[in-house]
Structure 1
Amino acid sequence: MLELYFSLSRFIKQVYEDFPEPVSMPQMAILFALEGRDDLTMQKVARQVAMDITTFSRQVQSLEKKGYIERVPSEQDRRYYFLGLTVEGERVVGEMNRLFVSRFDQLFSGMNEFEMETIKRSIQVLSGKLDSGS
């Protein structure tokens, strides 16, 4: 199992290193977590990407300076902020998604349909188990 973890880590690291934008792996995790969402508080996103709030806040500040995300104060409670992607942030996430899809297409190019479906289904089951804490 550790072999799979290390292989995936190397694969993801290589994709990030090839990405032309100045975005770190933790920052990209935040951007991906915000993709298609505008209802997430800073606390929820920090939990989702498994970062302590201090580290998370620094990453959010950096992403704001780059113009990729924006903080919007909650109308009900001004202590809370919602995070959302800016137009530029959406562009960056779109480019990263295209890069990942391209790399996965290359990775799976030698596999037949059955092998690809088996891997896809296994990943979905494993992801569901991990998310549910089982």
Structure 2
Amino acid sequence: MGTKFKGSKKEIHALDAFIKLKRAAESVSSRLIADFAKSNVTESQFGVLETLHHLGPLCQKSLGDKILKSTGNITLVIDNLEKRGLVDRVRDTQDRRYITIHLTIEGKKLIESMFPDHVKRVTEEFSVLSIDEQETLGNICRKLGKKDHHNE
């Protein structure tokens, strides 16, 4: 077991599973984001670029929700991407309060150059699992990540 906590069997199993999940996620993530430094991009910045590339322009709140970042944090990430000319904030012509974030040509070029290598590295990381194990892991993570999973 990964925990030294002396509690009920249920508590010990939950803590042990949490520790293993957290360590595995951090380990894989740290190996994957090491290559982002080559492009001078943070993990959050990559997440924004990748999300915009695949989903198209989004409002700042939706972007934050997609990459699990707080409002304050996503503002800073977008500010830094905008300073580098990788994204633009575009005000809606009908409702000037509504702003969407768009990839610039440079942002599109950058994510298109980075993404294939990222996919390759993710595939390599997950190659220790069979396809069935990857599907099972995905289903478990989806179930665990649901906000209302206690009500199922």
Give the alignment's TM-score, normalised by structure 2: 0.70
One-letter amino acid of the structure 2 residue matched with residue 90 of structure 1 = K
Structure 1 contact 72–81 (Cα < 8 Å) conserved: yes
Q: Distance in 2 between matches of 1:120 and 1:51?
A: 25
Structure 1 contact 15–99 (Cα < 8 Å) conserved: no
One-letter amino acid of the structure 2 residue matched with residue 31 of structure 1 = L
Give the alignment's TM-score, normalised by structure 1: 0.78
Structure 1 contact 37–84 (Cα < 8 Å) conserved: no
One-letter amino acid of the structure 1 residue matched with residue 53 of structure 2 = E
Alignment of 1:44 with 2:58, yes or no, is: no
Question: Which residue number in structure 1 is paired with residue 35 of structure 2?
Answer: 18
Instruction: State the superposition RMSD in angstroms.
Output: 2.3
Bigger relative contact order (CA 8 A; separation at least 6): 1
Q: 1:94/1:8 Cα in 2 relative to 1: closer, same or farther (>3 Å)?
A: farther
Question: Which residue number in structure 1 is paired with residue 92 of structure 2?
Answer: 74
Between structure 1 and structure 2, the one with the greater Rg is 2
- Unpaired runs of 5+ residues, structure 2, are 1-16
Secondary structure at the counterpart of residue 54 of structure 1: helix
Q: CA deviation at 1:132?
A: 6.5
Secondary structure at the counterpart of residue 35 of structure 1: helix
One-letter amino acid of the structure 1 residue matched with residue 64 of structure 2 = A
Residues 72-127 of structure 1, C-alpha deviation per residue, up to 9 Å, x if partnerless? Answer: 11122111111122222223223332222222343355x5xxx5221331243235
Aligned residues: 130
Question: Which residue number in structure 1 is paired with residue 22 of structure 2?
Answer: 5
- Unpaired runs of 5+ residues, structure 1, are none
Structure 1 contact 68–85 (Cα < 8 Å) conserved: yes
Q: Distance in 2 between matches of 1:132 and 1:16?
A: 27
Correspondence 1:1-134 to 2 at 5 A: 1=17, 2-19=19-36, 20-109=38-127, 116-129=130-143, 130=145, 133-134=148-149
Q: 1:92/1:132 Cα in 2 relative to 1: closer, same or farther (>3 Å)?
A: farther
Structure 1 contact 72–82 (Cα < 8 Å) conserved: yes
